[in-house]
């Protein structure tokens, strides 16, 4: 499961790196840009992207839906699931993304024209509780799970229960870097991975 959670983190990084996420350096608002990335990625909210003229509403929605698919694929890697069950997992990941809690606090331009952005995060604890519930299944319940689809449905129930009762760690402020390539800003990929692990308990 740890390898699978790592795959989910990498899937999220890829989601946050796609084409519409680059911000032109001209009159660049680093705080608003990071807010746009996070709101688009986790809430399917295109407002700031559109205001910054980075992407259209349709582009953000398309990237958001592709991101959901990437995470579901990572979570179900190696398993055979019906289209109906995949749709239920997509709904679960959509609900999970809505649990992201953060505040983009400030940004400072560095001498090399990169930005350091301070983001306050509260880690949402869903994966740990879901896996604990899954591992605590009784022998009687386990015996009833005769098909792979049944196991996946039970795991889905564990995730949905954890999301419904999601708990959060204390707020923690981290620094992420915006790098400049070809006059376009984007979030450093390693920092995006760190950010994801500060928002959700993938580790």
- For residue range 26-69, what is the model confidence (pLDDT) as tens digits? 578 999 999 999 999 999 999 999 999 888 999 999 989 988 99
Q: Does the pLDDT of residue 161 top 90, yes or no? A: yes
- pLDDT value, residue 20: 41
At 182, the pLDDT band (50, 70, 90 cuts) reads: confident
Q: Does the pLDDT of residue 191 top 60, yes or no? A: yes
The Cα 34–Cα 198 span in angstroms is 15
Q: Does the pLDDT of residue 99 top 90, yes or no? A: yes
- The mean pLDDT value for 101-122 works out to 96
The string of pLDDT tens digits covering residues 83-96 is 999 999 999 999 99
At 181, the pLDDT band (50, 70, 90 cuts) reads: confident
The Cα 106–Cα 133 span in angstroms is 38
Q: What share of the chain is helix, strand, coil (3-state, %, to 5)?
A: 55, 20, 25
Q: Does the pLDDT of residue 6 top 60, yes or no? A: no
The pTM of this model reads 0.86
- pLDDT value, residue 110: 93
User: Residue 173, SS3?
Assistant: strand
Residues 6 or more apart whose Cβ sits within 8 Å of residue 125 = 162, 166, 167, 168, 169, 201
- pLDDT value, residue 90: 95
- The mean pLDDT value for 174-178 works out to 96
Token reading at 40: 């688009």
The Cα 133–Cα 155 span in angstroms is 9
At 175, the pLDDT band (50, 70, 90 cuts) reads: very high
Nearest to 179 by CA among 17, 13, 7: 17
């Amino acid at each position: 499961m740890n390898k699978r959670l790592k795959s989910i983190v990498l899937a999220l990084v890829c989601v946050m790196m796609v084409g519409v996420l680059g911000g032109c350096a001209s009159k660049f608002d680093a705080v608003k840009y990071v807010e746009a990335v996070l709101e688009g990625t986790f809430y399917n909210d295109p407002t700031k992207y559109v205001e910054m003229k980075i992407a259209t509403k349709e582009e953000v929605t398309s990237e958001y839906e592709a991101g959901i698919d990437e995470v579901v694929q990572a979570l179900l890697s190696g398993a055979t699931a019906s289209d109906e069950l995949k749709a239920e997992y997509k709904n679960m990941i959509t609900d999970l993304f809505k649990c992201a809690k953060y505040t983009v606090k400030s940004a400072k331009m560095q001498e090399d024209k990169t930005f350091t952005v301070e983001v306050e995060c509260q880690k949402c604890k869903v994966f740990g509780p879901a896996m604990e519930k899954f591992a605590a299944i009784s022998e009687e319940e386990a015996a009833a799970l005769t098909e792979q689809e049944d196991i996946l449905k039970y795991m889905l129930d564990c995730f949905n229960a954890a999301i419904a009762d999601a708990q959060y760690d204390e707020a923690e402020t981290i620094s992420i870097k915006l790098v400049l390539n070809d006059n376009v800003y984007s979030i450093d990929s390693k920092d995006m991975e760190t950010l994801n692990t500060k928002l959700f308990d993938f580790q």
